[in-house]
Amino acid sequence: MENQAAERKKIVFSGIQPSGQITLGNYLGAVRNWKQLQEEYNCIYSIVNMHAITVRQDPAELKKRTLEAYALILACGIDPEKSIAFIQSHVKEHAEINWVLACYTQFGELSRMTQFKDKSQKNPDNINAGLFTYPVLMAGDILLYQTDLVPVGIDQKQHLELARDIAIRFNGQRGNTFVVPDGYIPKAGAKIMSLADPTKKMSKSDPNPRGCVYILDPPETIIKKFKSAVTDSDMEVCYREGKDGINNLMTIYSCVTGKTYEEIEEEFKGKGYGDFKLAVGTAVAEHLAPIREKYNALMADKAYLEKCYTEGAEKASRIARRTLEKVYKKVGFLPK
């Protein structure tokens, strides 16, 4: 029995908002690792469309982007045979556990969430209760699946801490019910900076559209963005302090070709920045081509996508239902 426990693969849960495209920065920093994670862990990936409505959404647009986000994670290597990939609103247990966990969360804990403060400032005319309580729904997303590990960026760390606190509090008062999740810090994903301002991280909110590359950008757009990338005036392709633009381009080139910085310096010795920028753009376009092709093929086969997300929701619901029944029993709800 002990041997079986040692062999059990740990459960990883990750929720992805249907907020449009994935940037090259997101992809090289995190998304690229998802494919590998599913070889080592039991992975559960969800398009968290319930979280998306804390800000006003156009319903038709949200529906469209949810399907696109689902197709995109499959195109990036999530295999629905190896992982559970589903759409959050298809699994009603997320909404149901949310209420119980809200009753085990302190008002003060939620009022300390920095993302609530940030988003309230950005949407001052729509500071709704969902915006305040959505970290509880996020805790439910994680705890429903008895998750061991949650891949987290720095901006979600506070939410994971809350999920841990809620699990510990519930377990302490009602007996052992939830696995207390840990953060999973992926193998150092590359930190990719804006092509227009290499001192800032690549982001969808970049005021300069040429600063951000999306993984579904057509090859000519990718190459054009790299050709206009900000560099410096000394014309030498080498990695060193003060050369933010070139350092960023070298990082990207290294990520997509597997070449070391030394090999890159050797390859472009005596060549100008124009040659280097074109080579990086071309290498990125070639690296992303299979993802774009797979995404287009998936979007053209809506029946296959529907089959995948329906089966994904069924698998997710079976696990979630077990946890929810246990929780309902612990709080004293009369069984149906």
Question: Catalytic residue positions?
Answer: 119, 201, 204
Q: By the 8 A CB rule, do 85 and 314 touch?
A: no
Per-position b or e across 7-40, b if 16+ CB within 10 A of its CB: eeeebbbbbbebeebbbbbbbbbbbbbbeebbee
CA angle 121, 122, 126 (to 5 degrees): 85
Residue type, 205: S
Distance CA 204, CA 120 (A): 20
Locate the DSSP E strands across the chain. 11-16, 42-47, 84-87, 149-151, 182-184
Q: What does R_g of the chain's alpha carbons equal in angstroms?
A: 22
Sign of CA dihedral 240, 242, 243, 248: positive
